[in-house]
Amino acid sequence: MNGLNSEQYYASRADTGVSLVLAGAGTGKTKTLVEKVTNVIRDLPLDPSALLVLTFSRRAAKELRLRIASGTGGREVFAGTFHSFCLDLLREHGAAFLHSSGFDGFPAVVDDEGRSKIIRGLIYPDLDRFLGMPAGVVYDLMNSLMNNRRALDGWKEKRLKESGLLDALRSLVGRYADIKRETNSIDYDDMMNFAISLLENDPAVRAEVLSRYRYLFVDEFQDVSGDNIRLLKLLLPETGGNLFAVGDDWQSIYGFRKAAVGHIIRMKRFFPGAVIHRLTINYRSRKEIVSLSNGFIKRNRFRTRKRLRSGKGKGGRVRSLVVSMFNEEAEAIRAVIAYRDPGMTCAVLCRNNWQCRYIRSRLYNSDVDEDGVSIMTMHASKGLEFDIVIVAGVCDSVIPDADNDIEEERRLLYVACTRAREELYIIAHANDRGQVSRFGRELGIINNN
Protein backbone atom coordinates (compact mmCIF):
# COMPACT_ATOMS: atom_id res chain seq x y z
CA MET A 1 0.00 0.00 0.00
CA ASN A 2 2.97 2.28 -0.66
CA GLY A 3 3.62 2.95 3.01
CA LEU A 4 0.01 3.86 3.78
CA ASN A 5 -2.06 2.65 6.70
CA SER A 6 -5.51 1.23 5.94
CA GLU A 7 -7.31 4.55 6.58
CA GLN A 8 -4.98 6.43 4.24
CA TYR A 9 -5.19 3.68 1.62
CA TYR A 10 -8.98 3.61 1.40
CA ALA A 11 -9.20 7.42 1.36
CA SER A 12 -6.65 7.73 -1.46
CA ARG A 13 -8.09 5.21 -3.92
CA ALA A 14 -8.85 6.54 -7.40
CA ASP A 15 -12.62 6.72 -7.10
CA THR A 16 -14.97 9.39 -8.39
CA GLY A 17 -17.53 11.66 -6.78
CA VAL A 18 -17.21 13.91 -3.74
CA SER A 19 -15.26 12.81 -0.66
CA LEU A 20 -13.93 14.45 2.47
CA VAL A 21 -11.06 13.21 4.62
CA LEU A 22 -11.31 14.31 8.25
CA ALA A 23 -7.62 14.17 9.10
CA GLY A 24 -6.61 14.69 12.71
CA ALA A 25 -3.38 16.43 13.66
CA GLY A 26 -0.31 14.47 12.55
CA THR A 27 -2.28 11.80 10.69
CA GLY A 28 -0.72 12.31 7.25
CA LYS A 29 -3.32 14.37 5.40
CA THR A 30 -0.87 15.80 2.85
CA LYS A 31 0.58 12.34 2.20
CA THR A 32 -2.94 11.05 1.58
CA LEU A 33 -3.83 13.95 -0.74
CA VAL A 34 -0.67 13.48 -2.80
CA GLU A 35 -1.31 9.74 -3.05
CA LYS A 36 -4.88 10.47 -4.20
CA VAL A 37 -3.60 12.77 -6.95
CA THR A 38 -1.11 10.13 -8.07
CA ASN A 39 -3.77 7.41 -8.15
CA VAL A 40 -6.27 9.54 -10.06
CA ILE A 41 -3.68 10.32 -12.74
CA ARG A 42 -2.58 6.68 -13.02
CA ASP A 43 -5.75 4.68 -12.48
CA LEU A 44 -8.77 6.65 -13.78
CA PRO A 45 -6.76 7.75 -15.78
CA LEU A 46 -6.72 11.53 -16.12
CA ASP A 47 -4.15 13.84 -17.64
CA PRO A 48 -2.46 16.01 -14.98
CA SER A 49 -3.76 19.14 -16.73
CA ALA A 50 -7.30 18.03 -15.84
CA LEU A 51 -6.57 18.26 -12.11
CA LEU A 52 -6.89 21.41 -9.99
CA VAL A 53 -5.42 21.51 -6.46
CA LEU A 54 -6.37 24.46 -4.26
CA THR A 55 -5.11 25.54 -0.86
CA PHE A 56 -4.75 28.74 1.20
CA SER A 57 -1.09 29.71 1.43
CA ARG A 58 1.77 29.99 -1.03
CA ARG A 59 3.92 27.86 1.28
CA ALA A 60 1.37 25.03 1.24
CA ALA A 61 0.91 25.32 -2.53
CA LYS A 62 4.66 25.09 -3.13
CA GLU A 63 4.94 22.01 -0.89
CA LEU A 64 2.06 20.33 -2.71
CA ARG A 65 3.59 21.04 -6.12
CA LEU A 66 6.92 19.53 -5.07
CA ARG A 67 5.39 16.45 -3.45
CA ILE A 68 2.99 15.83 -6.34
CA ALA A 69 5.82 16.14 -8.86
CA SER A 70 7.85 13.66 -6.83
CA GLY A 71 4.95 11.22 -6.60
CA THR A 72 4.05 11.42 -10.28
CA GLY A 73 7.52 11.29 -11.82
CA GLY A 74 7.74 15.01 -12.43
CA ARG A 75 4.32 15.51 -14.03
CA GLU A 76 2.93 18.98 -13.33
CA VAL A 77 -0.46 19.66 -11.79
CA PHE A 78 -1.86 23.12 -11.09
CA ALA A 79 -1.53 23.56 -7.34
CA GLY A 80 -2.08 27.05 -6.04
CA THR A 81 -4.06 29.23 -3.68
CA PHE A 82 -7.70 30.06 -4.24
CA HIS A 83 -6.67 33.65 -4.90
CA SER A 84 -3.96 32.79 -7.43
CA PHE A 85 -6.40 30.59 -9.32
CA CYS A 86 -8.97 33.40 -9.39
CA LEU A 87 -6.41 35.93 -10.61
CA ASP A 88 -5.25 33.56 -13.37
CA LEU A 89 -8.89 33.03 -14.40
CA LEU A 90 -9.50 36.78 -14.65
CA ARG A 91 -6.33 37.28 -16.69
CA GLU A 92 -7.07 34.38 -19.02
CA HIS A 93 -10.55 35.73 -19.70
CA GLY A 94 -9.47 39.35 -19.51
CA ALA A 95 -11.80 40.70 -22.19
CA ALA A 96 -14.88 39.18 -20.57
CA PHE A 97 -13.75 40.32 -17.12
CA LEU A 98 -13.10 43.91 -18.20
CA HIS A 99 -16.41 44.08 -20.05
CA SER A 100 -18.40 42.90 -17.01
CA SER A 101 -16.43 44.79 -14.34
CA GLY A 102 -16.10 48.18 -16.01
CA PHE A 103 -12.34 48.51 -15.50
CA ASP A 104 -10.51 50.44 -18.23
CA GLY A 105 -7.56 48.05 -18.14
CA PHE A 106 -6.57 44.99 -16.17
CA PRO A 107 -6.31 46.18 -12.55
CA ALA A 108 -3.23 46.16 -10.39
CA VAL A 109 -3.23 43.88 -7.35
CA VAL A 110 -3.22 45.34 -3.85
CA ASP A 111 -1.60 42.79 -1.54
CA ASP A 112 -2.33 42.51 2.19
CA GLU A 113 0.44 44.97 3.08
CA GLY A 114 -0.85 47.49 0.56
CA ARG A 115 -4.41 47.05 1.77
CA SER A 116 -3.31 47.66 5.36
CA LYS A 117 -1.43 50.81 4.34
CA ILE A 118 -4.44 52.25 2.50
CA ILE A 119 -6.86 51.49 5.33
CA ARG A 120 -4.60 52.94 8.00
CA GLY A 121 -4.14 56.02 5.84
CA LEU A 122 -7.89 56.47 5.93
CA ILE A 123 -8.22 55.89 9.65
CA TYR A 124 -5.58 58.15 11.17
CA PRO A 125 -6.69 61.51 9.67
CA ASP A 126 -10.26 60.70 10.76
CA LEU A 127 -9.52 59.13 14.14
CA ASP A 128 -11.22 61.89 16.13
CA ARG A 129 -14.59 60.67 14.84
CA PHE A 130 -14.13 57.42 16.77
CA LEU A 131 -14.35 58.91 20.29
CA GLY A 132 -10.93 57.79 21.51
CA MET A 133 -11.13 54.29 20.03
CA PRO A 134 -7.58 53.03 19.25
CA ALA A 135 -6.64 52.97 15.59
CA GLY A 136 -5.99 49.22 15.74
CA VAL A 137 -9.53 48.56 16.96
CA VAL A 138 -10.99 50.72 14.19
CA TYR A 139 -8.87 48.78 11.69
CA ASP A 140 -10.18 45.43 12.98
CA LEU A 141 -13.78 46.65 12.85
CA MET A 142 -13.32 47.85 9.28
CA ASN A 143 -11.96 44.47 8.28
CA SER A 144 -14.90 42.81 9.99
CA LEU A 145 -17.34 44.85 7.94
CA MET A 146 -15.50 44.18 4.69
CA ASN A 147 -15.30 40.46 5.44
CA ASN A 148 -18.99 40.22 6.40
CA ARG A 149 -17.97 38.58 9.66
CA ARG A 150 -20.28 37.96 12.58
CA ALA A 151 -18.02 40.11 14.76
CA LEU A 152 -20.48 43.03 14.59
CA ASP A 153 -23.54 41.00 15.45
CA GLY A 154 -25.55 41.58 18.58
CA TRP A 155 -24.53 44.01 21.27
CA LYS A 156 -21.41 45.27 19.50
CA GLU A 157 -23.28 46.34 16.38
CA LYS A 158 -26.01 47.90 18.50
CA ARG A 159 -23.53 49.97 20.52
CA LEU A 160 -21.69 51.12 17.41
CA LYS A 161 -24.94 52.10 15.76
CA GLU A 162 -26.22 54.03 18.76
CA SER A 163 -22.97 56.00 19.00
CA GLY A 164 -22.90 56.78 15.28
CA LEU A 165 -19.66 54.87 14.83
CA LEU A 166 -21.18 52.23 12.57
CA ASP A 167 -21.95 54.86 9.93
CA ALA A 168 -18.42 56.21 10.29
CA LEU A 169 -16.97 52.73 9.74
CA ARG A 170 -19.16 52.16 6.70
CA SER A 171 -18.05 55.50 5.32
CA LEU A 172 -14.40 54.40 5.59
CA VAL A 173 -15.22 51.10 3.86
CA GLY A 174 -16.83 53.05 1.03
CA ARG A 175 -13.82 55.33 0.71
CA TYR A 176 -11.52 52.31 0.52
CA ALA A 177 -13.62 50.94 -2.36
CA ASP A 178 -13.43 54.35 -4.09
CA ILE A 179 -9.63 54.41 -3.82
CA LYS A 180 -9.37 50.99 -5.42
CA ARG A 181 -11.62 52.08 -8.26
CA GLU A 182 -9.74 55.37 -8.76
CA THR A 183 -6.37 53.57 -8.87
CA ASN A 184 -7.66 50.71 -11.04
CA SER A 185 -6.84 48.16 -8.33
CA ILE A 186 -8.28 45.04 -6.75
CA ASP A 187 -7.42 43.26 -3.51
CA TYR A 188 -7.54 39.54 -2.70
CA ASP A 189 -11.22 39.60 -1.78
CA ASP A 190 -12.01 41.29 -5.08
CA MET A 191 -10.21 38.53 -6.99
CA MET A 192 -12.54 35.95 -5.51
CA ASN A 193 -15.68 38.05 -5.98
CA PHE A 194 -14.94 38.93 -9.60
CA ALA A 195 -14.04 35.32 -10.46
CA ILE A 196 -17.30 34.09 -8.95
CA SER A 197 -19.26 36.77 -10.82
CA LEU A 198 -17.56 35.87 -14.11
CA LEU A 199 -18.37 32.18 -13.73
CA GLU A 200 -21.93 32.88 -12.66
CA ASN A 201 -22.74 35.33 -15.43
CA ASP A 202 -20.72 34.13 -18.42
CA PRO A 203 -21.80 30.62 -19.53
CA ALA A 204 -18.99 30.40 -22.08
CA VAL A 205 -16.30 31.00 -19.47
CA ARG A 206 -17.79 28.46 -17.08
CA ALA A 207 -18.17 25.87 -19.85
CA GLU A 208 -14.49 26.26 -20.76
CA VAL A 209 -13.38 25.84 -17.15
CA LEU A 210 -15.61 22.81 -16.62
CA SER A 211 -14.21 21.16 -19.74
CA ARG A 212 -10.65 21.75 -18.57
CA TYR A 213 -10.78 20.60 -14.94
CA ARG A 214 -12.23 17.15 -14.28
CA TYR A 215 -11.09 16.61 -10.70
CA LEU A 216 -10.77 19.17 -7.88
CA PHE A 217 -8.68 18.80 -4.73
CA VAL A 218 -8.85 21.10 -1.71
CA ASP A 219 -6.30 21.12 1.11
CA GLU A 220 -7.12 22.56 4.56
CA PHE A 221 -10.84 22.37 3.88
CA GLN A 222 -11.60 23.54 7.43
CA ASP A 223 -10.54 27.02 6.30
CA VAL A 224 -13.04 27.45 3.46
CA SER A 225 -15.39 30.44 3.47
CA GLY A 226 -18.81 30.86 1.95
CA ASP A 227 -17.14 32.41 -1.09
CA ASN A 228 -14.82 29.41 -1.45
CA ILE A 229 -17.83 27.08 -1.42
CA ARG A 230 -19.58 29.18 -4.08
CA LEU A 231 -16.47 29.01 -6.26
CA LEU A 232 -16.10 25.24 -5.84
CA LYS A 233 -19.72 24.66 -6.82
CA LEU A 234 -19.17 26.73 -9.96
CA LEU A 235 -16.09 24.65 -10.81
CA LEU A 236 -18.11 21.44 -10.59
CA PRO A 237 -20.79 20.27 -13.04
CA GLU A 238 -24.35 20.00 -11.78
CA THR A 239 -24.00 16.21 -11.59
CA GLY A 240 -21.07 13.82 -11.66
CA GLY A 241 -18.45 16.22 -10.29
CA ASN A 242 -15.24 15.04 -8.63
CA LEU A 243 -14.00 16.73 -5.46
CA PHE A 244 -11.52 15.43 -2.90
CA ALA A 245 -11.10 17.56 0.23
CA VAL A 246 -8.92 17.08 3.30
CA GLY A 247 -9.06 19.00 6.55
CA ASP A 248 -9.72 18.96 10.28
CA ASP A 249 -12.46 21.01 11.90
CA TRP A 250 -10.62 20.68 15.22
CA GLN A 251 -7.93 22.92 13.68
CA SER A 252 -10.16 25.61 12.16
CA ILE A 253 -8.59 28.84 13.48
CA TYR A 254 -9.05 31.45 10.76
CA GLY A 255 -12.49 32.88 11.41
CA PHE A 256 -11.01 36.37 11.06
CA ARG A 257 -10.27 35.47 7.42
CA LYS A 258 -13.89 34.49 6.75
CA ALA A 259 -13.33 30.76 7.34
CA ALA A 260 -16.51 29.07 8.59
CA VAL A 261 -16.05 25.73 10.34
CA GLY A 262 -19.62 24.70 9.57
CA HIS A 263 -18.70 23.89 5.97
CA ILE A 264 -16.50 20.95 6.94
CA ILE A 265 -18.70 19.80 9.82
CA ARG A 266 -21.82 19.85 7.64
CA MET A 267 -20.14 18.74 4.41
CA LYS A 268 -23.12 16.70 3.23
CA ARG A 269 -25.38 19.74 3.47
CA PHE A 270 -23.26 21.52 0.87
CA PHE A 271 -22.30 18.42 -1.15
CA PRO A 272 -25.05 15.80 -0.79
CA GLY A 273 -23.77 12.27 -1.20
CA ALA A 274 -20.25 13.09 -0.07
CA VAL A 275 -18.27 10.13 1.30
CA ILE A 276 -16.53 10.82 4.62
CA HIS A 277 -13.19 9.20 5.55
CA ARG A 278 -11.29 9.60 8.82
CA LEU A 279 -7.58 9.51 9.56
CA THR A 280 -7.12 8.82 13.26
CA ILE A 281 -3.50 7.72 13.87
CA ASN A 282 -1.28 10.61 14.96
CA TYR A 283 2.31 9.86 13.90
CA ARG A 284 3.64 13.13 15.31
CA SER A 285 2.91 13.20 19.03
CA ARG A 286 3.39 10.83 21.94
CA LYS A 287 0.35 9.29 23.60
CA GLU A 288 0.47 11.66 26.58
CA ILE A 289 0.23 14.71 24.31
CA VAL A 290 -2.53 13.21 22.15
CA SER A 291 -4.59 12.23 25.20
CA LEU A 292 -4.39 15.70 26.76
CA SER A 293 -5.24 17.44 23.46
CA ASN A 294 -8.16 15.10 22.73
CA GLY A 295 -9.71 15.67 26.13
CA PHE A 296 -9.42 19.42 25.76
CA ILE A 297 -10.91 19.80 22.27
CA LYS A 298 -13.83 17.52 23.10
CA ARG A 299 -15.20 20.34 25.24
CA ASN A 300 -16.27 21.96 21.97
CA ARG A 301 -19.87 21.09 21.13
CA PHE A 302 -19.79 22.03 17.43
CA ARG A 303 -17.31 19.53 15.99
CA THR A 304 -17.00 16.23 14.18
CA ARG A 305 -16.53 13.06 16.20
CA LYS A 306 -13.30 11.10 15.82
CA ARG A 307 -11.05 9.18 18.18
CA LEU A 308 -7.38 10.01 17.65
CA ARG A 309 -4.63 7.77 18.94
CA SER A 310 -0.87 8.02 18.93
CA GLY A 311 1.13 5.97 16.48
CA LYS A 312 4.29 6.63 18.53
CA GLY A 313 3.02 5.26 21.82
CA LYS A 314 3.99 6.32 25.32
CA GLY A 315 7.11 8.12 26.42
CA GLY A 316 6.14 11.77 26.05
CA ARG A 317 6.23 14.43 28.71
CA VAL A 318 3.40 16.81 29.56
CA ARG A 319 4.04 19.30 32.32
CA SER A 320 2.10 22.32 33.55
CA LEU A 321 3.67 25.34 35.20
CA VAL A 322 1.59 27.84 37.18
CA VAL A 323 2.70 31.47 37.45
CA SER A 324 1.17 34.72 38.67
CA MET A 325 2.86 37.30 36.46
CA PHE A 326 4.36 37.51 33.00
CA ASN A 327 7.89 38.04 34.31
CA GLU A 328 7.55 34.74 36.19
CA GLU A 329 6.40 33.13 32.96
CA ALA A 330 9.50 34.38 31.13
CA GLU A 331 11.70 32.87 33.84
CA ALA A 332 9.87 29.55 33.56
CA ILE A 333 10.39 29.54 29.81
CA ARG A 334 14.06 30.39 30.26
CA ALA A 335 14.49 27.43 32.62
CA VAL A 336 12.82 24.94 30.24
CA ILE A 337 15.00 26.12 27.36
CA ALA A 338 18.18 26.04 29.43
CA TYR A 339 17.70 22.43 30.53
CA ARG A 340 16.40 20.97 27.28
CA ASP A 341 18.31 18.48 25.16
CA PRO A 342 20.18 20.77 22.72
CA GLY A 343 19.51 18.32 19.90
CA MET A 344 15.73 18.79 20.19
CA THR A 345 13.87 21.50 18.33
CA CYS A 346 11.87 23.84 20.55
CA ALA A 347 9.14 26.44 20.08
CA VAL A 348 7.44 28.94 22.37
CA LEU A 349 3.88 29.58 21.19
CA CYS A 350 1.85 32.65 22.17
CA ARG A 351 -1.68 33.89 21.51
CA ASN A 352 -0.58 37.38 20.45
CA ASN A 353 2.40 39.14 18.90
CA TRP A 354 2.96 41.33 21.94
CA GLN A 355 3.61 38.22 24.05
CA CYS A 356 6.21 37.06 21.53
CA ARG A 357 7.96 40.42 21.67
CA TYR A 358 7.97 40.43 25.47
CA ILE A 359 9.35 36.90 25.74
CA ARG A 360 12.04 37.63 23.16
CA SER A 361 13.09 40.73 25.08
CA ARG A 362 13.44 38.73 28.30
CA LEU A 363 15.30 35.82 26.73
CA TYR A 364 17.64 37.93 24.65
CA ASN A 365 18.67 39.74 27.81
CA SER A 366 19.51 36.46 29.56
CA ASP A 367 22.33 33.99 29.13
CA VAL A 368 20.03 31.42 27.52
CA ASP A 369 21.30 30.02 24.22
CA GLU A 370 18.37 30.52 21.85
CA ASP A 371 19.76 28.52 18.93
CA GLY A 372 17.06 26.22 17.69
CA VAL A 373 14.29 27.98 19.65
CA SER A 374 11.39 29.49 17.69
CA ILE A 375 9.07 32.07 19.23
CA MET A 376 5.84 32.60 17.31
CA THR A 377 2.11 32.99 17.56
CA MET A 378 -0.17 29.97 17.72
CA HIS A 379 -1.62 30.93 14.34
CA ALA A 380 1.85 31.00 12.77
CA SER A 381 2.62 27.54 14.15
CA LYS A 382 -0.15 25.88 12.11
CA GLY A 383 1.38 23.19 9.91
CA LEU A 384 4.64 23.06 11.89
CA GLU A 385 5.93 20.62 14.52
CA PHE A 386 8.67 20.62 17.15
CA ASP A 387 10.19 18.16 19.60
CA ILE A 388 9.41 20.50 22.49
CA VAL A 389 6.56 23.01 22.64
CA ILE A 390 6.11 25.60 25.38
CA VAL A 391 2.59 27.08 25.33
CA ALA A 392 2.80 30.50 26.97
CA GLY A 393 0.19 32.81 28.42
CA VAL A 394 -2.72 30.49 29.23
CA CYS A 395 -4.37 33.37 31.02
CA ASP A 396 -7.98 34.59 31.04
CA SER A 397 -6.93 38.02 29.81
CA VAL A 398 -5.18 36.45 26.80
CA ILE A 399 -6.81 33.19 25.76
CA PRO A 400 -9.70 32.84 25.24
CA ASP A 401 -9.84 36.24 23.58
CA ALA A 402 -13.06 37.82 24.83
CA ASP A 403 -13.83 39.23 21.37
CA ASN A 404 -13.55 35.89 19.59
CA ASP A 405 -15.66 32.74 19.46
CA ILE A 406 -14.87 30.57 22.49
CA GLU A 407 -14.77 27.36 20.44
CA GLU A 408 -12.36 28.83 17.92
CA GLU A 409 -10.14 29.94 20.80
CA ARG A 410 -10.23 26.38 22.11
CA ARG A 411 -9.29 25.08 18.67
CA LEU A 412 -6.39 27.53 18.59
CA LEU A 413 -4.98 26.22 21.86
CA TYR A 414 -5.51 22.67 20.57
CA VAL A 415 -3.41 23.51 17.51
CA ALA A 416 -0.65 24.83 19.78
CA CYS A 417 -0.58 21.69 21.91
CA THR A 418 -0.55 19.35 18.92
CA ARG A 419 2.60 20.91 17.48
CA ALA A 420 4.59 18.94 20.09
CA ARG A 421 6.26 15.64 19.28
CA GLU A 422 7.90 14.64 22.58
CA GLU A 423 7.46 17.27 25.29
CA LEU A 424 4.69 19.78 26.00
CA TYR A 425 4.90 22.50 28.65
CA ILE A 426 1.83 24.61 29.38
CA ILE A 427 2.24 27.79 31.39
CA ALA A 428 -1.01 28.74 33.11
CA HIS A 429 -1.62 31.94 35.05
CA ALA A 430 -3.33 32.04 38.42
CA ASN A 431 -5.46 34.95 39.58
CA ASP A 432 -5.28 36.74 42.94
CA ARG A 433 -7.27 33.91 44.53
CA GLY A 434 -4.84 31.32 43.24
CA GLN A 435 -7.28 29.91 40.69
CA VAL A 436 -5.88 29.05 37.26
CA SER A 437 -7.50 30.35 34.09
CA ARG A 438 -10.51 28.78 32.39
CA PHE A 439 -8.50 26.94 29.75
CA GLY A 440 -5.97 25.98 32.38
CA ARG A 441 -8.71 24.26 34.36
CA GLU A 442 -10.05 22.58 31.23
CA LEU A 443 -6.57 21.16 30.65
CA GLY A 444 -6.63 19.73 34.15
CA ILE A 445 -4.06 22.13 35.59
CA ILE A 446 -4.17 22.59 39.36
CA ASN A 447 -2.31 25.25 41.29
CA ASN A 448 -0.40 23.48 44.06
CA ASN A 449 1.59 26.54 45.09
| Cα–Cα distance for residue pair 130/71, rounded to 1 Å | 55
pLDDT of residue 366: 63
What are the backbone angles phi and psi of residue 226, rounded to the nearest 5°?
Answer: -60, -40
Are 240 and 65 in contact by the 8 Å Cβ rule? The answer is: no
pLDDT greater than 50 at residue 227:
yes
pLDDT of residue 150: 46
The model's pLDDT over 204-223, given as tens digits with 9 standing for 90+, comes to: 999 999 999 999 999 999 99
pLDDT of residue 449: 65
For the chain, give every domain's residue range.
6-86+191-279, 114-182, 287-443
DSSP letters for 98-161: HHHH--SSPPEEE-HHHHHHHHHHHHGGGGGGGTT--HHHHHHHHHHHHTT-GGGSHHHHHHHH
| Cα–Cα distance for residue pair 378/105, rounded to 1 Å | 41
CA 288 to chain centre: 25
| Cα–Cα distance for residue pair 265/251, rounded to 1 Å | 12
Give me the torsion for CA of 399, 401, 407, 408, rounded to 10°: -100
Handedness of CA 135, 141, 144, 146 (dihedral sign): negative
pLDDT of residue 152: 55
Strand ranges inside 236-298, DSSP E: 243-247, 275-279, 281-282
Mean pLDDT in the chain? 92
What is 6-86+191-279's CATH superfamily?
Answer: P-loop containing nucleotide triphosphate hydrolases (3.40.50.300)
pLDDT greater than 70 at residue 1:
no
- pTM of the predicted model as reported, rounded to 2 decimal places: 0.93
The model's pLDDT over 132-177, given as tens digits with 9 standing for 90+, comes to: 778 888 888 888 777 754 445 555 677 778 778 888 888 889 999 9
CATH architecture of 287-443: 3-Layer(aba) Sandwich (3.40)
